[in-house]
Amino acid sequence: SLYLTFPTSPPTLLEFALHKVGRRTRSHSPRANYQTPYNTQPPREARKMELGAVNLPTSLEDVRITKLPPSAFYIADFISEEEEQAILQKIADAPKPRWKQLTHRRLQTWPSDLVQNKLIDAPLPPWLQEPVVSRILSLPRATVPDSNLFTESPHQRPNHVLINEYPPGDGPAYHPVVCTVSLGASLCLNLYQSKEDGALDPEPVWRILQEPRSLLITTDNLYTDYLHGIADTDEDVELSADSIVNWDLLRSKDHYATGRNVRATRTSLTYRDVMQVSKLGAKFGLFGKK
């Protein structure tokens, strides 16, 4: 079976809705964790530095998933193992009321749930901003090198994060840019299209393998014209260069040489910019505290 989610619905309605979603880098100039202002770019020399196990591209064009429409990018080593463990610990330390138990996963929303497609006007906690947001904002767009993915979004940076925890065997009103950081384990994301009669084609058009510590970016028509889902299985199979569209960008293709990936618990951080923000709700607590 298959679980699908819908990005424009409030998190409270995410259980079984359809979701319209829209290489290790080959660059020899990896980029550093640069602390950047909201809408500016780091000096080019800073982009060419390497930060431990982090390996960032000089341009998003270097990590474009070429077998997809030109609006998807994959960075295998977006965060380090130490950063991954630190974020996972922060997630685990969150108060129990922060977790919402859905049918097939647990969910946290930061800084709040959406109410009538509006978000409370509050900052993300520091551990969800650094290093992830600064690195996302430092990635130059392939077509416009002096701008980043969120330059044209209402707030010029992601302001909302969904944290989904998927046990093995389970599956899962924004500006059309979605950045997903994977933590803990690998998992296949399937992209689907509808048939001419409007029914969902059960066979995925494409499969994307998301490794731990990686960043997957989907924009434009991949966000708006396709459904994405995660199969209900304990193991991803038939993994190869022919079936996985980002195979050439994977950190360790040898790890999947058998064509199989045994799933473990995976946590994902999904960053977006919610278009409508309510300052009144923040002032009077109309959204509820979590």
Is residue 290, in this structure, part of any structural domain at all?
Answer: no
Q: What is the pLDDT of residue 42?
A: 45
CA distances from 189 to 74, 118, 268 (A): 12, 28, 12
Q: How far apart are CA 190 and CA 167, in angstroms?
A: 17
Q: How far apart are CA 275 and CA 135, in angstroms?
A: 21
**Exposure of 246 in the CB half-sphere (CA atoms within 13 A):** 34
Q: How far apart are CA 103 and CA 13, in angstroms?
A: 11
pLDDT tier at 279, thresholds 50, 70, 90: low
As a whole number, mean pLDDT of residues 171-181 equals 72
Is residue 115, in this structure, part of any structural domain at all?
Answer: yes
Q: Which residues contact 39 (CB under 8 A, 6 or more apart)?
A: 137, 148, 150, 151, 156, 157
273: containing domain: 2-284
As a whole number, mean pLDDT of residues 273-278 equals 79
Considering only residues 21 and 190, tell me which one the structure prediction assigns the higher pLDDT: 190
**Percent over 90 (pLDDT), the chain:** 48
The DSSP element (H or E) to which 282 belongs, if any, is helix 279-284
As a whole number, mean pLDDT of residues 180-208 equals 87
Q: What is the pLDDT of residue 198?
A: 67
pLDDT in tens, 49-93: 445 589 999 889 899 999 999 889 999 999 999 999 999 999 999
Is residue 201, in this structure, part of any structural domain at all?
Answer: yes
As a whole number, mean pLDDT of residues 155-174 equals 80
Q: What is the pLDDT of residue 175?
A: 63
Q: What is the pLDDT of residue 56?
A: 95
Prediction pTM value? 0.75
As a whole number, mean pLDDT of residues 145-150 equals 84
DSSP 238: -
Q: Look up the CATH number of the domain holding residue 265.
A: 2.60.120.590
Provide, for the chain, the percentages of residues in helix, strand and coil under a 3-state DSSP scheme, each rounded to the nearest 5.
20, 30, 55
pLDDT tier at 142, thresholds 50, 70, 90: low
Mean pLDDT is lowest, of 24-38, 98-112, 141-155, 270-284, for 24-38
pLDDT in tens, 214-268: 999 998 888 778 887 888 899 999 999 999 999 999 998 999 999 999 999 999 9
CA distances from 234 to 1, 9, 185, 268 (A): 12, 28, 12, 17
Residue recorded with tokens 């979603």 = 21
Mean pLDDT is lowest, of 71-85, 105-119, 179-193, 235-249, for 105-119
Q: How far apart are CA 283 and CA 26, in angstroms?
A: 48
Number of domains in the chain: 1
Is residue 48, in this structure, part of any structural domain at all?
Answer: yes
Is residue 289, in this structure, part of any structural domain at all?
Answer: no
Q: What is the pLDDT of residue 44?
A: 39
Considering only residues 196 and 57, tell me which one the structure prediction assigns the higher pLDDT: 57
Q: What is the pLDDT of residue 143?
A: 67
Is residue 47, in this structure, part of any structural domain at all?
Answer: yes
Is residue 269, in this structure, part of any structural domain at all?
Answer: yes
